[in-house]
Amino acid sequence: MVKRKENFLALTAALGLIFVIITAGCTAGIDQQGDGQVHKAEQATGTLQLQIPEVSVSWKDFYPDYDDRTKSEIIEKAKDEIMRVFPDKDGSTLNGNWIGRERYNDAGMKQIGSPYIEFENVTYKLGEGRNYKIRVDPDQMKITYYSPNTAQYGQPVISYNEAKQKAIEFIRNAQGEDSIVDDPDANSYFRDSFSSGGIPVTYVVYYKTCNGVTYQENSVSLTYDMRRDKVERYFDDLTDPELLSSLTVLSPEPDITYDEAIQVLEDMISEKYNLGEEGLECTTLSNYDSPLSWWDNDNLVYADDPKPLSLVWDIGMTSTESRKEYEEKRIDPTCGSFRIDAHTGEVTRLVYGEDIFVKTYGYKGSSNPQ
């Protein structure tokens, strides 16, 4: 059997559960109709039928197809926003390029996501020789990415608590009104890397939630350099709130319990591995200590034909061998990962060893490999 770590609360629910789901979004209550029966453990690898609500909006409603003149005007506004947030940057190095919904990463792989304006090789006015990359959302006019091209660390000159507070204030300033740091429903995560033997930085992350469930990717994160007393990296990965709300319309209550998800995991791995020999234990893959989340990958949010975001169990695994390697070499002990739709029971990701590989993007397991 796969062991559960103590910080997991195994979710238990009656086997007779509602599975025909017609719900409202985050800004309204959940309305459930119909009835059904969840498959028992021996049938857990099957899937339940789910009536999927229609989605009323798409990314196209929020990101118009601007002409070249309008794009140039928006790029100039983006420069002003960068100088507001980073007044010590050299404005003459701000040369923005419009990046559309479809693009390719450095590895040549095609990606989709919200359009943005990218500024490369941005420098400070004085005192620093590094170049930075900055991205700005053209419609919300907010900075969504800020990072140097090279790392540079030394001994800290400010404390963790000072760095943490400065990081929070930076996020407030960058986001303006309705900042995620003031959202009482957001999940937050803070870490002093230096005190645990790491580099002299403070990590601050805020995750957006809906109906008590955390989104996997809708977050704002910041790395504060305690040596330079400055922001090192900043990422705002929040989707337009109306678009996100319109896609989050399924019930936050799972039809497949945590224990049933683990049973699916055991059944699939035991086809090729001896569970007793593997010594599997479950871990969270997130900073917010819960394996239940909304699956909000960009390939789903910005799809041409969007579907409601799935509620999923996202579970990591460690084995006896990987834990031993961690003790000896301090290498990440995670040996595999598993994602299952918490309403239908469908497996949309399972990676373990060299033999088991089920990894897909789209809703209900369609589209391109992830």
User: Structure tokens of 247?
Assistant: 């896609």
Task: Pick the closest to residue 106 from 69, 88, 133 (CA basis).
Answer: 133
| Mean pLDDT to the nearest integer, 63-92 | 95
Q: Please give the average per-residue pLDDT across 4-13, as a whole number.
A: 33
Percent of the chain with pLDDT over 70: 83
What the block records as the tokens of 22 is 């017609």
Report the b/e string of 51-61 with b at 16+ CB within 10 A. Answer: ebeebeebbee
Residue-level pLDDT at 144: 97
Predicted TM-score of the model (pTM): 0.80
CA dist., res. 255 & res. 151, Å (int): 45
pLDDT in tens, 304-349: 888 999 999 999 988 898 898 888 887 777 888 899 999 999 998 9
Q: Give the C-alpha separation, 47 to 39, whole Å.
A: 8
Digit-coded pLDDT (tens) for 236-247: 999 999 999 999
The pLDDT assigned to 47 comes to 57
Residues 163-189 as b or e (16 or more Cβ within 10 Å = b): bbebbbebbeebbeeebbbeeeebbbe
Q: Is pLDDT above 90 for 224?
A: yes
Q: Which of 35-49, 56-70, 207-221 has the lowest mean pLDDT?
A: 35-49
**Residue range 261-280: average pLDDT?**
90
**pLDDT value of position 305:** 87
Residue 49 — pLDDT band, cuts 50, 70, 90?
Answer: low
Q: Give the model's pLDDT for residue 360.
A: 66
